[in-house]
Amino acid sequence: MRWHMKKRLLGNTGMEVSVIGFGGISIQHVSEEEAINIILECKKQGINFIDTARAYTISEKYIGKGLKEAGRENFYIATKAMERDYDSMKSSIEGSLNDMDIDCIDLYQIHNVGSKQQFDTIFSENGALKALVEAKEQGLIKHIGITGHIRELLIEAIDNYEFETVQFPFNPVESQGTELLLKALKKGMGTIAMKPIAGGTFDYPFLSLKYIMNSGLITVAIPGMDTIEQVIENARAGRDAEPLTKDEQEIINKEVETLGTEFCRRCGYCKPCPEGIDIPNIFVFENYVIRYNIPEYGKLKYDTLEVKADECVRCRTCESRCPYNLPIVEKLKHAAKTFKDLE
């Protein structure tokens, strides 16, 4: 008997979405042909929800190309924009429609609300929300959502405005959104898990997704995927309706303990560094040394970087952008020592 991808209603939107969606952040790093093939594999695996963003460079255009091949009718399309005022958001909606070459977007989200100042602008008389409501009335978008990393701001948003979905980090390491997600579900909203594999740092992607599917808090998880193999493996979690076994839970508990909370999710919001430091990759390469015990490989990869960790000038521009408030400067200092000790 062949198992099928589980589906759930995304709140009160009427959209029946696959419990595993496609996160479009990663395909900005592959070729157009590869991106199209990945979208085709999503269709084959029963994934019918695609999430992207204006900020993901070429992602919307790639997805538009993929829809031409895989069929627009086979997917619900969600995107998002970081614009905070009316004119900029209106322009972004038009840009998304043009880049994906589609007539209507199923879900348009306010992307990464990061401060009270941004919040106040978005909901002001000439704020971004006004442009989204107008676009919905015009039939350019069907539903409106909000995303972010700061729980309190999103709770205030859904308490005071009629959003239909909320997107927030959720995985075995990050449960700080539980109150927000429960409140959203109670209001009839759809809940979308970003960073479902903790930005790719969780060593057991299948178990992380299975944990999310069984949490009772999430409608759809959207892992970023940039290979066909990742699509196949992640889709497998959407077909496994069984609860976590005791052994699986123990594996998750051990991984949570190992990761802690101060780890890089590779979201890239810290970039660009004024000095040209590739911050996320430095932490990836350091993990090869300290987590996976392959110091030669980690040092080899680190040596390919033009700008090294010890060239940080402690301006803390990166820290002001990091949605997780990581002590990036100190972590870079630690990474520099890690690689110096290998010399």
Residue 335 maps to a domain: yes
Query: Which CATH number belongs to the domain containing residue 242 in this structure?
Result: 3.20.20.100
Do 137 and 249 fall into the same domain? yes
Output the CA angle 143-146-148, nearest 5 degrees: 160
Residue 259 maps to a domain: no
Q: Which helix (H) or strand (E) holds 51?
A: strand 49-51
Rounded distance, CA 258 to CA 198, Å? 13
Its domain, for residue 236, covers: 7-254
Residue 33 maps to a domain: yes
- Is a pLDDT exceeding 50 seen at residue 1? no
Do 222 and 292 fall into the same domain? no
Residue 41 maps to a domain: yes
270-296 CB burial, b ≥16 within 10 A, e <16: beebeeebbbbebbbbbbbbeeeeeee
Do 248 and 287 fall into the same domain? no
Do 168 and 231 fall into the same domain? yes
* Number of structural domains found in the chain: 2
Do 55 and 180 fall into the same domain? yes
**Residue-averaged pLDDT of the chain:** 94
Residue 96 maps to a domain: yes
Mean pLDDT, residues 193-220: 93
Do 149 and 200 fall into the same domain? yes
Residue 113 maps to a domain: yes
Tell the residue number behind the tokens 């927000």, with chain if given: 180
Residue 232 maps to a domain: yes
Do 250 and 304 fall into the same domain? no
**What tokens were used for 210?**
């299975």
Do 108 and 183 fall into the same domain? yes
Mean pLDDT, residues 255-284: 91
**What tokens were used for 42?**
């999503």
Residue 222 maps to a domain: yes
- Is a pLDDT exceeding 50 seen at residue 209? yes
Do 53 and 194 fall into the same domain? yes
Alpha carbon 266 to its chain's center: 10
**What tokens were used for 113?**
């609300």
- Is a pLDDT exceeding 80 seen at residue 241? no
Residue-wise pLDDT tens digits, 148-160: 999 999 999 999 9
- The letter for the amino acid at 265 is R
Per-residue pLDDT band for 261 (boundaries 50, 70, 90) equals confident
- Is a pLDDT exceeding 70 seen at residue 302? yes
pLDDT of 2 reads: 52
Do 221 and 299 fall into the same domain? no
For 304, residues 6+ apart whose C-beta sits below 8 A from its C-beta are: none
Do 223 and 327 fall into the same domain? no
